[in-house]
Chain A
């Protein structure tokens, strides 16, 4: 095989720098706009989920047996190794932001038998294989259960996060909520999917 180099008439082509200049201008225009910005980037999914805890709670009344009225704190529990834990601390613990007018106490559960006293239990994706057992264990207890695993509501979970495109959506099992003595504000059904 021969190797032959062909002359390249385009090798001396002068690069048009105008586009680059425009790109630089555009970039620095962005920097300038920072100065007058009101913060508004697309949040991460986890951030939206932890905000939902407070928003959803405002539509729900806990049964008296939960002892929420007398409680000093709102006990927000998590079971499973999920990244939500860090976001919960940033959203509630670090800012003293309340839920149901109570300071939020975040509890990471290692085992489900530590669930006593929890007002809300989030069951993370990492516990997907144990969801049925966890829900069975707390059946009859006035704990709002929130999950994100497949078929969470069909396993008698109460509230499930799911994705539609880039949106974090919520659906709620009305029978599961009512059976445990919770009262749902009817207005919630116009905002999220309520399965009756």
Chain B
């Protein structure tokens, strides 16, 4: 069938479009442009340019030597989403953003991935400057378990001019983390309008109500300087797609057991309130000296449930919660980033840019509607469970200059230095959140037995968990970009890094593009890269109690330098090392059609994993080591596996101009990736021959190799006619696996209709997941699964009003 379609398509094409093809692109382009009025010209979008991947000068995104996608402010506005991660998921088919639930902090700072790799294998830049990672380490069973990552949802959408997504390894240019790619967020500059936008909406089921309002104000300054400020308030009510809890709730004979339709858990989006600010300003002092500052701040308060504690549970104090309780985890999250710098040009045509960026992420855990059963009826029901803090300082000096090397165009040379300081802290919670009060189970058949210590739902960080660790690193790079002649484009880069904890890393990149035809660009690159282990991976530690045979012991996540961890074989973490290869093409057969295809291969050695519990039952030797800390089990981070990821991206963009009847933009994007673990799992010798399966389970392998969709297809149609703008998207998320089940693919449809009422006001209506499709559920109990790439809320409709002035 496909063969027939191909034949028919090409036959028709050859017959009908010969005349069109024979004309040059630019000639046709100019014919159209010269027919346009001034009014149309000033409102016309030009082909997007990108800065990422090519230091010093923006270039048309279809001319890059490595694949880059661009998402513009107008496209962002049309999605109807209010979170950046969800926006990116609608445009970048290799971008995965599942919605974990009942996963502690990961409910509120949700991980995202690019091209099937890990959340910490993506570098995020704002205006070209490194953005810090979140303080949260994902330690539960979510995508990205064992990694940190940037919280993209801390940046107000209305402050963004465009987003550049580089789909290639670029650590040799930008340093650690740029393995799966780079997301460069360019904030609005030189704006000449201010705008207020408000969005309200809810799910088809009537929950998840969204109330959002933002304000973007632009002020012009002399010499084309500007001062832009964006503020946003966002209130999202929770959704709940939990299934009925059919378990016995009360002790035998209690009449409450007859009710089998109890909805006890809360599975869905958390309840969140966000306040966001963003600032972007350039203040020119002269032609050659510009001071700039940009930054963002996000305060988020969330509320999500832990697992329900039934009335009969020994972890319950029935005098306080006779009908059981749902512990509520209510984090307060503060994320901030600020860059201050200046840039200019010397008499020797040397462009310079000197800046300092400070960023931080703070996550404080408040636990409510809970109890520390070991304190009996004296237990408080609210706890301060401690907090996590991450801070990063980065100082950059970047120099660029064009040199006449005898090529077609000047050779562009960039060089720079970077110094970075990172600090990670764990602060203990209040004593009641973690203490073992010694009060046994007070009633019921297990009265007198030991019970669990610490706040239920999220035991607090103990004083013993308290820590402050830091490190610094220094790097130097050189980046060359040249054009030999009209056909050959070449780039080469090298970067040296020294980290105070694990040592140094030297990486290189070579990229090449060849314009085989006016319409055809062939491109490719090969590079090495690395990812430094995060301070959180090296030093995060926590403890929770566990009742084994009526004896209260502890399980701990240990720092790699903890004596018990060292005795169990833990070693200081090494950097993950990567090798990248991309090859592809950009084909522009017509002035209104572009097509790109890019293959990629990424090998990552020494990937860091978060081990499974190493328990005392494995061997007497391990039991004796664990006993020194009164532990029954321990886990830590280790460099254990090598992986290979390969895949490809296809993209086609097409525009139709119906003259007086508007224009239609069509796009089709397809992404495929496959990750495989190569060889075995390196494990400490003390664990014996089965050590690999002890520290890295089948569930871990499943999550890494099959837990994310291997393929995603996005089809979109955007029709504009006068004051009307309509967008329709059709998305197919491919199948994935979780809990040993293969979950089928899911189709989603989005629609957004926007109408300009007059010069100032717009009204928009839209629906996400128009047909209310739902992902496959757990085949055993019918529950939704954590890794569903688009969540499981079902349809969501919204109304948007905006005023521009």
Contacts and interface: CB of A to CB of B under 8 A. Distances in A.
Interface of A: 1-6, 8-10, 13, 15-16, 18-45, 47-48, 51-52, 54-56, 59, 87, 90-91, 94-95, 97, 128-129, 131-132, 149-151, 154, 162-170, 188, 191-193
A150 B284 contact: yes
B74 A43 contact: no
B705 interface: yes
Contact of B691 (A2, A38, A40): A2
B740 interface: yes
Given A4-B681, A9-B740, A41-B29, A166 B45 contact: yes
Given A16-B734, A39-B32, A165 B162 contact: yes
Q: Which of B15, B222, B347, B592 has the most CB of A within 10 A?
A: B592
7 contacts: A2-B685, A24-B5, A39-B591, A39-B592, A51-B34, A150-B290, A192-B38
A166 B48 contact: yes
Contacts of B705: 8, 10
A193 to B, nearest CB: 7
Report the 3 A-B pairs with minimum CB-CB distance, sorted nearest first: A4-B692, A40-B657, A3-B680
B287 A128 contact: yes
Interface string B663-700: 10010101010000101111111011111110010100
A179 to B, nearest CB: 20
B735 interface: yes
B38 A191 contact: yes
A80 B298 CA distance: 45
Contact of A51 (B30, B287, B569): B30
Contacts of B33: 43, 47-48, 51
Interface residues of B, number: 107
Given A8-B705, A19-B713, A191-B42, A37 B734 contact: no
Contact of B13 (A2, A32, A48): A32
Contacts of A10: 701-702, 705-706, 737, 742
Nearest to B666: A30
Contact of A169 (B42, B188, B590): B42
A3 B681 contact: yes
A10 B672 CA distance: 17
Contacts of B41: 48, 51-52, 55, 168
Contact of B670 (A3, A5, A23, A52): A23
A45 B655 CA distance: 18
B260 interface: no
Interface stretch (B20-28, B172-180, B491-499, B781-789): B20-28
A91 B347 CA distance: 35
A19 B38 contact: no
A21 B677 CA distance: 28
Nearest to B193: A164
A38 B658 contact: yes
A38 B657 contact: yes
B72 interface: yes
Interface in B2-38: 2, 5-6, 9-10, 12-13, 15-17, 20, 25-34, 36-38
Q: Which of B28, B36, B593, B688 has the most CB of A within 10 A?
A: B593
Contact of A41 (B39, B592, B687): B592
Contacts of A33: 654, 656, 666
Nearest to B23: A39
Contacts of A59: 38
A8 B740 CA distance: 11
Contacts of B44: 42-43, 48, 167-168
B692 A5 contact: yes
Contact of B223 (A43, A154, A170, A193): A154
B32 A90 contact: no
Nearest to A14: B742
A87 B33 CA distance: 13
B443 interface: no
Given A20-B670, A35-B15, 12 more contacts: A2-B685, A2-B688, A3-B682, A23-B713, A24-B6, A37-B592, A51-B33, A51-B36, A51-B41, A164-B190, A165-B72, A193-B192
Contact of B681 (A6, A16, A48, A52): A6
B732 A2 contact: no
Given A32-B9, A43-B47, A188-B38, A2 B689 contact: yes
A188 B37 CA distance: 11
B715 interface: yes
Nearest to A154: B223
Contacts of A40: 32, 591-592, 655-657, 663
A168 B49 CA distance: 12
Nearest to A1: B682
Given A6-B698, A27-B668, A35-B17, A151 B287 contact: yes
Contacts of A42: 44-48, 655
B594 interface: yes
A120 to B, nearest CB: 16
Contacts of A131: 287
B511 to A, nearest CB: 21
A20 B29 CA distance: 33
Contact of A47 (B30, B688, B689): B30
B12 to A, nearest CB: 6
Nearest to A83: B409
Contact of A129 (B223, B288, B710): B288
Q: Which of A9, A26, A91, A154 has the most CB of B within 10 A?
A: A26
A44 B60 contact: yes
B188 A165 contact: yes
Contacts of A129: 287-288, 345, 347, 349
Contacts of A32: 9, 12-13
A120 B284 CA distance: 28
B161 interface: yes
A140 B45 CA distance: 36
Given A23-B713, A37-B590, A40-B663, A6 B73 contact: no
Nearest to B692: A4
Contacts of A128: 287, 345
Contacts of B20: 34, 37, 39
Given A1-B682, A2-B683, A31 B657 contact: no
B72 A166 contact: yes
Interface string B732-766: 10110100101001000000000000000000000
A18 B747 CA distance: 12
A151 B285 CA distance: 11
A5 B683 CA distance: 11
A151 B222 contact: yes
Given A35-B16, A39-B32, A16 B735 contact: yes
Given A23-B713, A44-B47, A48-B46, A90 B668 contact: no
Nearest to A32: B9
B721 to A, nearest CB: 13
Nearest to B282: A150
A16 B745 contact: yes
Interface string B140-152: 0000000000000
Contacts of A22: 713, 732
B47 A45 contact: yes
Nearest to B402: A126
